A and B are shown apart, each in its own frame.
Chain A
Amino acid sequence: SAVISQKPSRDICQRGTSLTIQCQVDSQVTMMFWYRQQPGQSLTLIATANQGSEATYESGFVIDKFPISRPNLTFSTLTVSNLSPEDSSIYLCSVAAMLALNTEAFFGQGTRLTVV
């Protein structure tokens, strides 16, 4: 299994600023994912982050707005840049890790971002 620690758990930011969210995993994992959950909505995949390569972004998400780092197999950061109120969401980190004989997706507690 995998235990994921996300920081910060919540933040209130001024528009035009940036927020960097950290995701720490207690084991080495190949695949890490970042999701966004807008108020009252479901989770939407932002990007997939693999160690040693650039993140792969889903349609509608770009690197300039959501730069991602993946310096090693246990850590990743997501930055939400040039914040606007529309960026107010919960951002979740997820990893694919082995559980018994299967691969399973594990999720962090999320970071609740409010942009004012």
Chain B
Amino acid sequence: AQSVTQPDIHITVSEGASLELRCNYSYGATPYLFWYVQSPGQGLQLLLKYFSGDTLVQGIKGFEAEFKRSQSSFNLRKPSVHWSDAAEYFCAVGCSGGGADGLTFGKGTHLIIQP
């Protein structure tokens, strides 16, 4: 069975600083990987996804993620965070494109932005 580990429960970053959120997955085949953001009182929004091809994936809101098969990782990065990026971030893995068979989520990382 697949699993996702987000080792950082909370991360605090100063506004304008760079960000990296870690995600490690366990899956027997080629994974479909996703990052979602959940703002307070809001639903889940897809930031980016990896299915195949280029291992560096660009997403919305200036986010990117890099798939590293050798490390079973899919870390999310942003060069300069904004106060509006404060939210809960979830990494997820699926066994088919787009989560058509349901997704397995990590426990999430709570991002706090310091002024």
Contacts and interface: CB of A to CB of B under 8 A. Distances in A.
Contact of B90 (A33, A42, A96): A42
A103 B105 contact: no
Nearest to B36: A107
Contacts, number: 57
Contacts of B106: 42
B35 to A, nearest CB: 12
Nearest to B1: A59
Contact of A31 (B44, B90, B100, B105): B100
Interface string A53-69: 00000100000000000
What is the predominant secondary structure among interface residues of chain A facing chain B?
A: strand
Contact of B103 (A99, A105, A108, A109): A105
B98 A102 contact: yes
Which bracket fits the contact residues of B? 20 to 34
A42 B108 contact: yes
A26 interface: no
A113 B81 CA distance: 33
Contacts of B101: 31, 48
A80 to B, nearest CB: 19
Interface string B86-104: 0000101010111111111
A103 B102 contact: no
Contacts of B97: 102-103
Contacts of A11: none
A107 B104 contact: no
A104 B105 contact: no
Interface string B13-24: 000000000000
B84 interface: no
B13 to A, nearest CB: 21
Given A31-B101, A103-B97, A105-B99, 8 more contacts: A4-B43, A41-B108, A42-B106, A43-B105, A96-B100, A103-B99, A104-B99, A109-B43
